[in-house]
Amino acid sequence: MTQPTAASSSTPAAASGLRVDGLTVSVNGRTLVDQATFAAPAGKVTALIGPNGAGKTSAIRAITGATRPDSGVMELDGASLIRMRRRERARRVALVEQDAASVLPLTVAAVVGLGRIPHEAAFTSSSARDATIVDECLQIVGMEKFADRSFDTLSGGERQRVHFARALAQEPRLLVLDEPTNHLDLAAQLRALEVLRTRAAGGTVVLAALHDLNLVAAFCDRVVVLAAGRVLAEGDVEDVLDAQLIEGVYGVSATVLRSPDSGRPLFEFQSRLPGPARSPIPTV
């Protein structure tokens, strides 16, 4: 098993997949991501975790080209993402944003179809294959019955599922998701993470910012821990996520249990807020 690594300036080995080295992002003189170095290997689901304001979204936006970093190397399969042509990057990198809206009045199917645009040859319209992929991706997220609905009429969770489908339809080499489960109900959360595992098993590089450490432990292979813009630890979930790290990063006591089915870690948390201990939930 890979040992967890503290943040360092060394370059992580990632023959295929995403390699981020020394990524620094600042806004108005404030450093949001500070020399972040980590890897997301192909075929694995890598979780990006950390408290609110840690810099996860800022890192994700730089990796996906939404913003330009101050400095650092970001490579996908050895090719610089910064130097990659826009269209090529659009083909290879998909982003599911935290609260994505739609600027245009589009149907659900049309929003998912946006994921096919980077694959269309110049001056051609979408093909039968594109339509099939859109249908398949709507089915994957359980939104096929909404295909003709206006995107604007959807609930928050439904919108998130449609944006997930759009990113899947893009068939990217690198799939980056910023809190993809934050609007989803329990069943949809589990489904989304299962889909990520399937895509990773098919060779996709998956990087997802997540807050729920139990979902991370159950579904992710690797974890990158960000706090105050810096990478504190990186490695296999089993090696990195322990009570000491959780206490240090979140100020929360954690007891590590084991899933009787999978043997993977399960966490029970206790807030360390000052004050009297909470009374148990009253029985009716």
CA distance 182 to 167: 17
| 27 contacts ligand ATP (rule: CB under 6 A) | yes
Q: Is 181 in the site for ligand ATP (CB under 6 A)?
A: no
Q: Whose structure tokens read 């994921």?
A: 115
Smaller CB distance to ligand ATP: residue 29 or 280?
A: 29
Q: Which amino acid is at 159?
A: R
Closest CA to 43 of 78, 7, 15, 83: 15
Q: Say whether residue 66 binds ligand ATP (CB under 6 A).
A: no
Least distance from ligand ATP to the Cβ atom of residue 53, Å:
3
If one asks whether residue 32 binds ligand ATP (CB under 6 A), the answer comes out as yes
Contact yes or no for 178/135 (Cβ under 8 A): no
Q: How far is the CB of 55 from ligand ATP (least distance, A)?
A: 4
- With binding defined as CB under 6 A, does residue 12 bind ligand ATP? no
58 interacts with ligand ATP by CB under 6 A: yes
Residues in CB range of 108: below 8 A, 6 or more apart: 138, 143, 146, 147, 148, 149, 150, 151, 154, 162
> Among residues 53 and 203, whose Cβ is nearest to ligand ATP?
53
41 touches 235 (CB < 8 A): no
Q: Which residue is it, tokens 């989803």?
A: 184
Q: Which of 3, 9, 10, 52 is in the footprint of ligand ATP by CB under 6 A?
A: 52
| 57 part of the interface to ligand ATP, by CB under 6 A | yes
Residue from 17, 41, 55, 180 touching ligand ATP (CB under 6 A): that is 55
For ligand ATP, the binding residues (CB under 6 A) are 27-28, 30, 32, 50, 52-58
